[in-house]
Structure 1
Amino acid sequence: MTNAKLYGGIFLKIKSDLVKYTTAAALTVTGVGVANTVSSNLGPARVEAATFAQRVRINYVAGYGINVWDNYQTPKFTGTRIKHGKTVTVLASAIDQKGRSWYQIGEGQWIQARYTVKESISSKVSQGVQASNRADQAQKVVNVANAAVGKAYVQGSNGPSAFDCSGLTQYVYSKATGKQISRTTYTQVKKGKKVSMQNLQPGDLLFWGSASAPYHVGIYVGDNQFVHAAAPKQGVVKASLSSYFYPSVAKRVLD
């Protein structure tokens, strides 16, 4: 028979024929005091439910991963490994008979705590703020780029009433974010970081021609579309990406 008790929203299922509860210590989960120490026929052990969804990052060796075990007392390899740098949620923690700390990350899934580092709340908040700022900047870039659609194409012009291709991108970034990305396609392509065409985000710069010395540039605005100063007869237009006129490289210049 299996006894199940709900502690702060987390089920700890413990087989009654293997484990007995003692009152040697108290476990507090979401303000509820519960007997904590657990002993079994395999020797003394201690299990604690996480009081909140604690996140930890795997800290092992770049390019490698750590083993996931089926339990912490007599561990057997599950065949799964978690790569260095990946973040997981801790459901419970335990200390085995040898004094080693373990984290439960799923049903029948345990990892050794020594291969992890805790993710600080302040770091997560900071990352969230940065992501929000990037999204705000990207939207401003898209808005300014869309507002330029219909303007004239004039070689050597960088706005506000007429543009060439790199003059448009320079103007949009300067007006939307205050960021200076230089004046020509040859120098703009050296800014930011390269991103794949499958991972485009609004605000990314798209280049055509040589990856190191492109002849044309536009701004990705989402939904498989981009804005660019196309040619004298077309002016500034919004177009869809197609195999007939496909960029050779994309760069992300937003911080």
Structure 2
Amino acid sequence: MRVGNKRLNILSKVVTIAILLTCVYAGGSNKEVYAAENNNEMNQSYRRANIQVGKIKPCDFLNVRSGAGVRNSVVTKVYTNDTVEVLEKNNNGWYKIKPANGTIGWVNGSYVQMQGDNNNQVCDKSKKIVDLAYKQLGKPYSWGANGPNSFDCSGLTSYVYKNAASVNLPRTSREQVNVGKTVSKNNLKAGDLVFFSSTGKGITHVGLYIGGSKMIHSPKPGENVKIDNINSSYYSRTYVTAKSIL
């Protein structure tokens, strides 16, 4: 009986150790799989976040080729305003792209407008316009003056657009309101023009929006170029519209 008990105890210990080793191994394996899945998901998220997108510029069509050059065979075509993923840029100016049909190939990069490029240019110009407007603070109002020593309202906006962004605006506020794209008051961006009417019978004043519900403008005789809130009682009451020029 004692020998049988010893054998039973030994067998029981062996089974217990085997079970424990299996659990440890399985646990480690699960951790490795979980880590691998996590890394894969992170890599996919990283790749998604870093996808470069381009839009095809106006053309009849653009050949997508098997390599970076015109001597390579055509694998598919893309057309004006098609959106493509830009996978690679060759030093000869060709881009490796993936169109909507999934056929990867190469195109001349001069036909691809990278999305965000134009927005960055607009932001840079808007900043220059606003920065130049700030430099005019304190200069006196003078009817018909367009700077650099004095301004009327539209003379100020014309001056900053011309000298900061090389954009020539019409001379008067009534003409400037007909330029650009109309934007709502809730979607104003720095550099937009804001228009007012003190008579209710047409535009009588223009200012340059600088963000935070504020504008820089040249108000009236006896006052200097200054900052005002477009939501103040007077300007809120006389507000008419706004235009994005860039």
Question: What is the TM-score of this pair, normalised by structure 1?
Answer: 0.53
Number of the residue aligned with 1:253? 245
Number of the residue aligned with 1:208? 196
- Tell me, yes or no, if the aligned pair for 1:185 and 1:213 is still in contact at 8 Å: no
Question: Which residue of the other structure, out of 120, 141, 144, is the alignment partner of 1:132?
Answer: 120
- The structure-2 alpha-carbon separation of the partners of 1:7 and 1:196, relative to structure 1 and needing over 3 Å to count, comes to same
Q: How far apart are 1:213 and its partner, in Å?
A: 3.5
Question: Which residue of the other structure, out of 219, 226, 234, is the alignment partner of 1:244?
Answer: 234
Q: For residue 177 of structure 2, what is the amino acid of its counterpart?
A: V
The secondary structure found in structure 2 opposite 1:52 is: helix
- The structure-2 alpha-carbon separation of the partners of 1:221 and 1:200, relative to structure 1 and needing over 3 Å to count, comes to same
- Tell me, yes or no, if the aligned pair for 2:52 and 2:114 is still in contact at 8 Å: no
Q: For residue 142 of structure 1, what is the amino acid of its counterpart?
A: V
The secondary structure found in structure 2 opposite 1:244 is: helix
Q: For residue 244 of structure 2, what is the amino acid of its counterpart?
A: R
Question: Which residue of the other structure, out of 177, 183, 190, is the alignment partner of 2:171?
Answer: 183
1:228 paired to 2:217: yes
The secondary structure found in structure 1 opposite 2:148 is: coil
Instruction: Give me the whole-angstrom Cα distance separating, in 2, the residues matched to 1:212 and 1:8.
Output: 64
- The structure-2 alpha-carbon separation of the partners of 1:124 and 1:199, relative to structure 1 and needing over 3 Å to count, comes to farther
CA RMSD of aligned residues (A): 3.6
The secondary structure found in structure 1 opposite 2:218 is: strand
Q: For residue 241 of structure 2, what is the amino acid of its counterpart?
A: V
Q: Which has more helix, going by share of residues? A: 2
Instruction: Give me the whole-angstrom Cα distance separating, in 1, the residues matched to 2:189 and 2:37.
Output: 42
Q: How far apart are 1:239 and its partner, in Å?
A: 1.1
Question: Which residue of the other structure, out of 110, 130, 133, is the alignment partner of 1:142?
Answer: 130
Instruction: Compare CA radii of gyration and give the structure with the larger one.
Output: 2
Number of the residue aligned with 1:160? 148
How many residues get paired?
158
Q: How far apart are 1:51 and its partner, in Å?
A: 9.4
What whole-Å deviation, never above 9, does each CA across 1:42-95 have from its counterpart, x for those lacking one? xxxxxxx899328799xxxxxxxxxxxxxxxxxxxxxxxxxxxxx9xxxxxxxx
Question: Which residue of the other structure, out of 178, 183, 199, is the alignment partner of 1:195?
Answer: 183
Greater shift, 233-242 or 143-152, is seen at: 233-242
- The structure-2 alpha-carbon separation of the partners of 1:225 and 1:50, relative to structure 1 and needing over 3 Å to count, comes to closer
- Unaligned regions of 5+ residues in structure 1, if any? 12-28, 31-48, 58-86, 88-115
Instruction: Give me the whole-angstrom Cα distance separating, in 1, the residues matched to 2:101 and 2:211.
Output: 36
- Unaligned regions of 5+ residues in structure 2, if any? 1-29, 54-82, 84-99
What whole-Å deviation, never above 9, does each CA across 1:193-225 have from its counterpart, x for those lacking one? 011111111100000028993110000012221
Identity rate, percent = 34
Number of the residue aligned with 2:23? none
Greater shift, 141-150 or 208-217, is seen at: 208-217
Instruction: Give me the whole-angstrom Cα distance separating, in 1, the residues matched to 2:180 and 2:218.
Output: 21
Number of the residue aligned with 1:98? none
The secondary structure found in structure 2 opposite 1:214 is: coil
Q: How far apart are 1:236 and its partner, in Å?
A: 1.1
What whole-Å deviation, never above 9, does each CA across 1:161-193 have from its counterpart, x for those lacking one? 111111111111001111001101111111110
The secondary structure found in structure 2 opposite 1:245 is: helix
